[in-house]
Amino acid sequence: MDQGEHTDGDLIRGSIDDPQMFEGIFERHYDRVFRYMVRRVGRTEGADLTVEVFVAAFEQRGRFWIERESALPWLFGIASNLAKRYTRSLDRRRRAFLRAAGVSSDLGDEGAVAERVDAASLVAQLNTALGRLRSQDREVVLLIVLGDLTYQETAAALGLPIGTVRSTFSRAKARLRSDLGDVGWNPNDDFGQGVVR
What are the residues binding other proteins (CB under 8 A)? 16, 19-20, 22-23, 26, 30-31, 34-35, 38-39, 43, 46-47, 50-51, 54-55, 58-59, 61-63, 65-68, 73, 117-118, 122-123, 126, 144-146, 148-150, 152, 155-156, 159-164, 166-167, 185, 187-188, 190-197
DSSP string computed for 37-67: HHHHH-HHHHHHHHHHHHHHHHHTGGGS-TT
Contact between 151 and 196 (Cβ < 8 Å): yes
Contacts of 17 (CB under 8 A, 6+ apart): none
Least distance from other proteins to the Cβ atom of residue 97, Å: 26
Most distant pair of Cα atoms in the chain: their distance: 61
- Comparing CB distances to other proteins, the nearer of 13 and 95 is 13
Question: What is the phi/psi pair of residue 84, to 5°?
Answer: -60, -45
- Comparing CB distances to other proteins, the nearer of 115 and 118 is 118
Contact between 90 and 112 (Cβ < 8 Å): yes
Least distance from other proteins to the Cβ atom of residue 72, Å: 12
Least distance from other proteins to the Cβ atom of residue 98, Å: 26
Coil vs helix vs strand at 174: helix
DSSP state of 195: P
DSSP state of 22: G
Least distance from other proteins to the Cβ atom of residue 139, Å: 15
Task: Report which of 197, 187, 103, 108 is spatially closest to residue 153, judged by C-alpha positions.
Answer: 197
- Comparing CB distances to other proteins, the nearer of 55 and 174 is 55
- Comparing CB distances to other proteins, the nearer of 39 and 112 is 39
- Comparing CB distances to other proteins, the nearer of 38 and 90 is 38
Least distance from other proteins to the Cβ atom of residue 77, Å: 10
